[in-house]
Amino acid sequence: MHGGAIASLIDTATAFAIVSIIPAQEKVTTVDLTISYLRPVTEGRLRAVARVLRSGRRLLAVSADVFDTSGKLAATALSTYIKLQAS
């Protein structure tokens, strides 16, 4: 599987983790995303598990792990999001 597809899965999983803890009207965007690809994925489905590590006044730190069909860790990531202010 292409690394960009895994990155997209991670970014989506971390966004859903954040959406589950912030007010509905609040908006966020990704500031950075660091991914370690640990093993190639050549077939099957992937499963991403994300969790918010810290939710500060402006920044949120989020981690995510991606597992292959056999449950082996294929990638891990750390991401930072920023809360956007209404203009």
Residues 45-83 have pLDDT tens digits of: 999 999 999 999 999 999 999 999 999 999 999 999 999
What pLDDT, on a 0 to 100 scale, did the predictor assign at position 87?
Answer: 55
Q: pTM of the entire structure?
A: 0.91
CA distance 76 to 82: 20
Q: Which domain holds residue 17?
A: 3-84
Distances (CA, A) of 44 to 40, 74, 86: 12, 12, 41
CA distance 39 to 18: 27
CATH of the domain at 60: 3.10.129.10
Residues 6+ apart with CB under 8 A from 8: none
Please give the tally of structural domains in the chain.
1
**Could you tell me the pLDDT band of residue 86, with boundaries at 50, 70 and 90?**
low
